[in-house]
Amino acid sequence: MKSTSLKVLMKGLTESEVPDIQVNSCITDSRTVHAGSVFVAIKGENFDGNDYAESALKNGASAAVVMRGEGPCMIKVKDTRDAYCGMAGNYRDQFSPLVVGVTGSVGKTTTKEMVAAIFSSFEKNTLKNLENRNNEIGLPETVFKMDDSTKLAVFEMGMSGLGEISRLSRCVKPHAGIITYIGVSHIEMLGSRENILKAKLEIIDGMDKDGFLVINGDDPYLLGARNSIPVRTYTFGTENENCDVTADDIKNHGFSTSFRIKDKEHGIFETDIPCSGIHNVKDAISAYSLATRLGFDPGKCAAALSDYAPAGMRQRFRDVRGMTVIEDCYNAAPESMESSLRILSDLDCEGKRIAVLGDMLELGKVSVDSHKKVGSLVGEFGIDILLCYGEMSSYIADEAVKAGVPEVRHFDDKAELARYLCDIAKKGDIILFKASRGMALEDAINMFYGDEK
């Protein structure tokens, strides 16, 4: 973080008197404060940062932003989460990089990484969220990494309810944005896909009138809302040939995919990405669409997609004892479950196709039906063995049995699952691990790997 006046950071956020000092970091963990830092007391699920404000000041913090407490270096605000976003927004105003945002029910992180791959081919110093740090804490942390050398930035924006993406957008003030898809993730909190659409469209709240959105033209919710969106829109898709940018000649090469980008404005370009699945092709052409509409050279944008590297445990392929393991358990929703199972089905396989699936979280009233649908898909895609973990995944297992999957087992214990997988998995098999992040299915992966990792 560039040294900045605390008065500048707190502009419009408090009625308290703000010390006229320079600060060089904004910190939410009281254990890491130092001289020149301002401690922002965030209240979380397990800890309340307001309880640690005094100790943060004693340990060297120059000031503390709090919701309660009194003192010469304590700055009181109504909500420290909102204040943290506001402080990051005030900090961002000191710089003039080209900023874009990415949101959607699925594919946010992949698309963000693809945009970053394209941007990095033009400007090495491209700023992006690490992994999927896309909420009201993680995104401001990234904003505070800006400095005078930052020319390009891409921010992934997540949410758990209405209003959150609006705050994030007003924090980073994007020049353009992408909405990948309107699915059922977070329907437990928002109640309907119409409300999810409304929440995702908040990405435009921080844009000026000259900004634009790139939207999925295969998505009926986004396409239906297009005429009411108050900024320019461009569409991408693989099914709707009327989209501004489409893809064809899509060829799966196992761990990579080649295809042609068909751009109504710029022409046709061949490219490839180091991952499989039509959903990744969609993400790639959305990133291409955004960059080219910002004025970047289309040929170079298409070529840069091959530099994309999957983040975290997103469709990461490993060779373990002669078996192919697909680590794809960073997150899960009905749409991404189907995509991953399709990849498992399409890959050339000398042995068995084994799916290790866990619960999909935050699906609310559609959870049971969504898990049952996944079980049916396991049968449709010809998976040989299904191993399930988690309470809701029992519905996957039950439906898979009905769909004729040859072997189906459900586990309540990850260690037991891993031991069973070690017993049955053989050289030549392909094993897919897929679950919502909260299921921590990587525990089973690590136990299965043993000393191989």
Q: How many residues does the structure list for the chain?
A: 453
With a cut of 70, list the residues of the chain below it in pLDDT.
Answer: 311-313, 452-453
| pLDDT the model gives residue 44 | 83
DSSP-assigned letter for residue 316: E
Residue with tokens 């060779």: 319
Using CA atoms, how far apart are residues 431 and 157, in angstroms rounded to an integer?
31
User: What is the pTM assigned to this prediction?
Assistant: 0.84
Say if residues 452 and 321 touch (Cβ distance below 8 Å). Answer: yes
Q: In CATH, what number does 316-452 get?
A: 3.90.190.20
pLDDT tens-digit series, residues 181-193: 998 877 777 889 9
Q: Is 12 left (phi over 0), alpha (psi -120 to 50) or beta?
A: left
Buried b (16+ CB within 10 A) or exposed e, 428-444: ebbbbbbbbbebebbeb
pLDDT tens-digit series, residues 320-377: 999 999 998 878 889 889 989 998 998 889 999 999 999 999 898 899 999 999 999 9
- Cα–Cα distances in Å, from 128 out to 151, 312, 327? 12, 14, 23
Spell out the domain ranges in the chain. 4-79, 95-307, 316-452
CA dihedral of residues 234, 121, 331, 237 (deg, nearest 10): 30
Superfamily of domain 4-79: MurE/MurF, N-terminal domain (3.40.1390.10)
Buried b (16+ CB within 10 A) or exposed e, 223-241: bebeeeeeeebbbbbbeee
Superfamily of domain 95-307: Mur-like, catalytic domain (3.40.1190.10)
| pLDDT the model gives residue 310 | 77
| pLDDT the model gives residue 254 | 76
